[in-house]
Structure 1
Amino acid sequence: MNRLPKCAAWTAVALSLGLAPLFGAVEINGIAAKVNGKVITKKEVNFHLAPRLALLRAKYPRRGEAYLTELKKAQDAVLEGLIDNKIVLSELEGKGAQLPDHVIDVEVQRIIREVFNGNEANFRKSLQESGMTMRAFRESQREKFLVQAFRSQQFGDVSPATPAEIEAHYRSRRNDLRDRSKDTLVFQKIYIPAVDPNRPGANPDDNLAFAEAIANQLKNGADFAEHAKQHSADAFAEEGGMWPETSRVDLSPAFAEVLFEAPQGEIIGPLKDPNGFTIVKVLKKKYGPAPSLSEVRDRMRKEVEIEKRSARYKKWISLLKRSAMIERRI
């Protein structure tokens, strides 16, 4: 079998993902897959991929092989979920399944509130950037609810969750259930602008290389405060880059995700934002409060029972996939 050179192969992956800003203009309103004649568009995939994409773009400024590998993995997971949904919808055809509009209205408002911190403008901006219309988004949510209802109906006869199962599930989920808006960080930061007036003649690639060199020195034991005072364009440079306790909601979602995932004391970055490159050392993390088990017991019970149904559902969907007409184009 003929194989593409490595650079050409990764370019092909990038093009299939619609990464026009990196590799020139490509079609973004194309078909990602067909399932029993039903179309999944690249717009649908891009919208569901957007939160992960923002994180990866911050984490991998050079967007090389590691970035493309992680992006392809995330894209494949999104696409497989959408393919599963289309297969279920094929099973539902002719059964007259309906969903009132107000259910979708409530779900859209929940997404705006929980995912976009109540900012409808940011929600609509995300839709626009992915090329997805509000009508298409509402249709995707309608399909999601129909699939959930079908799964609950078809695979509902599972054994009830026991108290021990509920408690174990709560312990595993406790940190995820916390009030993330109350998360805070204490950290040091070095900021290198993409265009730095203190480095005349240096272009963004030069300044990225400069930030990478600083990060490597810090990882080898160099003094963070000294480097911050010498090189950082951040407001707290003179304090050695030391930021006061900062709320998660005051950070961009992508940066917050990276910083809260990283171990304390680790040098992170350089991370990329639209204006430059950031190196961070997290000194202290404080997580928001989690609800007690008594507050979420019913939710934990439902989640345990959903997991039990999911095992049966996965076997069922796997069998259907064998006979389904699936054409993946990305």
Structure 2
Amino acid sequence: MKIKLSDCLRPLLLGAVFLGSAVQAEIQSLNRVVAIVDNDVIMQSQLDARAREVQQTIAKRGAQLPPTDVLNQQVLERLIVENLQLQIGERSGIRITDEELNQAMASIAQRNNLTLEQFSAALQRDGLSYNDAREQIRREMVISRVRQRRVGERIQVTDQEVKNFLASDLGKMQLSEEFRLANILIPLPEGASPEAIQAAARRVSSLYDELRNGGDFAQLAISNSASENALEGGEIGWRKAGQLPPPLDELISALAPGEITEPIRTPNGFMIIKLLEKRGGSSVVSDEVHVRHILIKPSEIRSETETRRLAERLYERIVSGEDFAELAKSYSEDPGSALNGGDLNWIDPSTLVPEFREVMAKTSSGELSKPFKSQYGWHVLEVLGRRATDNSEKFREQQAMNALRNRKYEEELQAWLRQIRDEAYVEIKL
């Protein structure tokens, strides 16, 4: 199995592969500086290793290799740009911890359905040691973070651009719902007689009744449909709402997965459509909770035990009838809510730490929780209400923002790479 080290990272060509000890003496004699790049150098061994890797990739694709001098120039230029990004990362203090690197390696192994031991063995078969692979991934992660910082800060998306995108045909297409559909088609020839139309209508109506009574859609499609996908149980795959002609878009949007349309007359005959799955779209309803809390934190002058006891005493005082808001103003150490009587207002549970979210989920409206601990300290919370909020428009705007940022990213990335290359001191000695 050929392992793709950059499966979970931004695709880049990987770094140098060190040769075995058997030819180390020869490497030492041939190794030399092929480029000076600002405060660093690129060695002949790095260039040779990367060139071999590129040659292997091109060969596996079945493409013709360019002349050696052309390939080396291309590879050296790539190494120069990568080296510049690594130097920016070094100056910016970007560091990849061993824990992050271990997680990345484990993730790549998992994506290839391998254990770390199997992953290491597969790398050896491909001529790359596990330690060399770790170093390559570290470089990739540094470069990725450099780009996120430097390119990300160059991208600006205005509110007007978002509005224009949402109003455009492209925006409507990209952000529309997608449906996985199946159909049964009862055909009619062009210029069909009234009798033929009535016969087809009776047949499709009979099929519709059978489906309503629990008939298997796929089996009925195989037996009766004249559609080219009949032998696949009528399945026609995923279609965006914007690709469907009216009134099919509205009819299918109103269905829940598993439901079918009534028979529809089309230019080709009568059709019944089943919605198998749906995804995407702008309909986003989220549950929100109106909650308030008191937070007590341990400190140098208050131990963990004393903090818990204070939270328990405040809980007992609230149960005894004292005002929650007044106690929150006096005792809570959450600066964002203390002055408001501990009120967090309506909040999406997914934005909260797990401990807080779990206790809140178990607490009914109008009830007080017993003291509990989170990473921030000890809490007492009260749920004031629950509601479902339609965030469709906000979700659509965020989707549009993401689409526009992604579209601009590649343009800005190439411009930034050209800029750092032009501004760098590079002396090629190849």
TM-score norm. by structure 2 comes to 0.32
Structure number having the greater strand percentage: 2
How does the TM-score come out when normalised to structure 1? Answer: 0.39
Report 1 or 2 for greater relative contact order, CA contacts < 8 Å, sequence distance ≥ 6.
1
Task: From the CA coordinates, give the structure whose radius of gyration is larger.
Answer: 2
